[in-house]
Structure 1
Amino acid sequence: MKIALGQFAATPRWEENLATAIDLARRASAEGARLLLLPEDILAADMQDPDLTLRAAQQLDGPYVTGLIAGLQGLDLTVSGCIFVPDGSGRVYNVHIVVSAQGLIGTYRKLHLYDAFAMRESDRQTPGAEIAPLIEIDGFKIGLMTCYDVRFPELARALALNGAELIAVPSAWVRGPGKEWHWEVMLTARALENTCYVAGIGECGPRNIGCSMVVDPLGVAVVRTGQDPDLLFCEISKERIAKTRATLPVLQNRRFADPTLR
């Protein structure tokens, strides 16, 4: 299956970001992609205004999601990315959405909030409480994670044991000493230890690193990009997964119990 990674820098205006997402979708579909992965914060973002997260949040049936679904009409393409959704108490959920021309296919509320490196997402966000069901596209089973989740191997392992062959990780990975290396190491580790594909899609711009990449089941970065807006493509292969798992049967050889969410 051919997938696309659409890396861009979100602006404070959701209308502009929606237009960018639809443009990337049309370009990805024209190249034969069946899945387009977009970053975290595709609704609205402003590094100087963290409260924009609260003001810009929309319901899943709001204008951003319905506009994206409308923009996909006529395209044989599924799109994923993250938006902020009001939780009903003045805070928001960070929701990884999956949509197509037929509507909303699936959602995942980010489990691990980024209370690290002097940032506190929990000041404005409410964590999710469930591991999302897998999404199936062209016979491939896809697991959903978001950004900081990639530092927690239990979630990726749970998705792999549920059958995930590709794990999608939209992100707004903040710059800092060694942070690009952290990103690459974590994506590679999650792919290699679970012998599946992992696609990390980074928001770029003045605060975040971009650096989107797809890592294959043997830990090889098969495509990657730098810090600028980009649209890159990758073929993922069930044969590659099967051969890797036959040679490196870590999921069979493990001695620990299945991870559970507490």
Structure 2
Amino acid sequence: MLHYCLQALIHPRPPGPGAGLRLAIWQGTGTAATPDAVQENLERLEQVAALAAAQQAQLLAFPELYLSGYIVTPDLARALAEPLDGPSLGRVAAAARRHGVAIACPYPERALVAGEERFFDAIALFDRDGTLLRNYRKTHLWGPDEKRCWSPGYRVDEEGPAFTVHQVNGFPVGLLNCYEAEFPELSRRLALEGAGLILIPTAADAWAMLSTGERTDRPYPDVSRTLIPANAIQNQCFVAYANRCGEETVNGMAMAAYLGNSVVAGPHGDLLVAARPRPTLLLADCVPGDYAPLHPAGTRYLDDRRPELYG
């Protein structure tokens, strides 16, 4: 049985098609780096999908590398990685279909790209009927450990474009991954593609054990109250940051502790919901119609850009 807090800023009814999106974020604890951990995390995903559906959520998001856990070594990353059409993502698609809620599930991906087997820190986005809308591969890898474990996405033409927008409940959603929240040009690129919501799973930690056996010497920067609202206001869209909380264990040993700083920011840079560091199901209705123009006379940053000056 899941023990969690419910934190919500929602309307009496969820947004209609095209009007917005009721977003749910699961912030919880979990296990990592073993096949048993993957099964445990899948079972929790199915439970959370039922909880989110009961709240009439239209999109449910999980933290970075949710299925495997974030803490993996290069060897374990390769052992746990699965293809997009593998059994784990099949269960996620089935959960989306069974509960009628779209699901963004981060996972370790194994794929053949340009004739070479590669491994990616990926996010699979399924629609409410279990249809795959997007498989996004992290493009900007953080630190030496991620570069040891994963390949950066979209270095090969056959992978297609990196930054795309997809309709959930008729509302345009774009994906980024953790460290990528800290590159303003990535959020801007998705906004220029029409994103009304930029969803960013993360694994922002208070401390973590690196694959070298060393412990990180400082917490991950908490961008939830700074860059996340800034990305939202400067792009006039919703931005969501989905993190873990508490300890992540590997075979019963604590290997990381997470900040629990999941938030949803609105187009005025306001925080709709912001989690404390405890297991929480966050709910927010992302509805552009709730907001008047930020500037008088309908002035918009995206309209007033002069890209010929800065590329």
User: Normalising by structure 2, what TM-score?
Assistant: 0.76
Matches of 2:283 and 2:109, distance apart in 1: 29
Which protein is richer in strand relative to its size?
A: 2
> In structure 2, how many angstroms separate the alpha carbons of the residues matched to 1:66 and 1:244?
42
Select 2:183's aligned residue among 152, 157, 172.
152
Distance change >3 Å, CA 107–CA 90, structure 1 → 2? closer
1:211 and 2:252 matched: no
> Residue deviations 1:56-78, cap 9 Å, x none?
11111111100112223332210
- Residue equivalent to 1:7: 27
Distance in 1, Cα, partners of 2:106 & 2:310 = 25
- Please give the TM-score of this superposition, normalised by the length of structure 1: 0.89
Q: Which residue, out of 112, 118, 140, partners 2:140?
A: 112
Query: What one-letter code is carried by the residue in structure 1 that aligns with 2:124?
Result: I
Q: Which structure has the larger Rg?
A: 2
Answer yes or no: is the 8 Å Cα contact 1:158–1:259 preserved in 2: no
On the 8 A contact 1:79/1:98 being kept in 2, the answer is yes
Unaligned runs of 5+ in 2: 1-20, 155-160, 208-217, 248-255
Q: Is the 8 A contact 1:166 1:199 kept in 2?
A: yes
* 1:158 counterpart letter in structure 2: R
> In the alignment, is the contact (CA less than 8 A) between 1:11 and 1:46 conserved in 2?
no
1:32 Cα shift? 0.8
**Cα drift, residue 188 of structure 1:** 1.4
* Aligned-residue offset at 1:243: 2.8
Match of 1:72, SS state, is helix
- Specify which of 48, 54, 59 is matched with residue 83 of structure 2: 59
- Matched with 2:3 is none
Contact 1:10 1:44 in 2 (8 A): no
In structure 2, relative to structure 1, the CA distance for the partners of 1:139 and 1:81 (3 Å cut) is same
| 1:193 alignment partner in structure 2 | 234
State the match for 2:272 in structure 1: 222
Q: Deviation per CA, 1:112-139, whole angstroms, max 9, x where unpaired?
A: 0002xxx431112101114232110122
Is 1:26 matched with 2:77? no
Instruction: Look up the equivalent residue of 1:181 and give its one-letter code.
Output: D
Structure 1 partner of 2:169: 138
Summarize the Cα distance change of 1:87–1:257 in structure 2 as closer, same or farther, 3 Å threshold. farther
Deviation at 1:215, TM superposition (A): 0.3
Q: What is the CA distance between 1:250 and its match in structure 2?
A: 1.2
Contact kept? 2:224, 2:263, Cα under 8 Å: no
Distance in 2 separating the partners of 1:48 and 1:32: 34
For the residues of structure 2 that align with 1:19 and 1:222, how far apart are their CA atoms? 29
User: 1:36 is matched by which residue type in structure 2?
Assistant: L
The one-letter amino acid of 1:136's match is Q
* Aligned twin of 1:127: 152
Cα contact 2:102–2:130 (8 A) shared by 1: no
Q: Distance in 1 between matches of 2:283 and 2:235?
A: 22
Pick which of 72-81 and 194-203 moved more: 72-81
Assess if the C-alpha contact under 8 Å between 1:7 and 1:38 holds in 2: yes
Q: Which residue matches 2:194?
A: 163
Distance 1:236 1:253 in 2: 24
Residue matched to 1:251:
302
Instruction: Give the letter for the 1:192 counterpart.
Output: I
- CA shift at 1:103, angstroms? 2.8
Stretch deviating more after TM superposition (21-30 or 169-178): 169-178
Query: Could you tell me whether the CA contact under 8 Å between 1:39 and 1:170 is conserved in 2?
Result: yes
- The runs of at least 4 consecutive aligned structure 1 residues that moved more than 4 Å come to 88-91, 245-248, 257-260
In 2: Cα distance, 1:183 partner to 1:114 partner: 17
RMSD over aligned Cα atoms: 2.3
- Deviations along 1:146-198, whole A, 9 cap, x unmatched? 00101111111010011001000001112265645334312111111101100
- Relative to structure 1, is the Cα distance of residues 190 and 259 closer, same or farther in structure 2, using a 3 angstrom cutoff? farther
Q: Counterpart in 2 of 1:99?
A: 126
- Aligned AA for 1:72? A
The match for 2:213 is: none
Counterpart position of 1:76? 100
- In the alignment, is the contact (CA less than 8 A) between 1:93 and 1:125 conserved in 2? yes
Task: Extract unaligned runs of 5+ from structure 1.
Answer: none
Distance across 2 between alignment mates of 1:27 and 1:258: 49
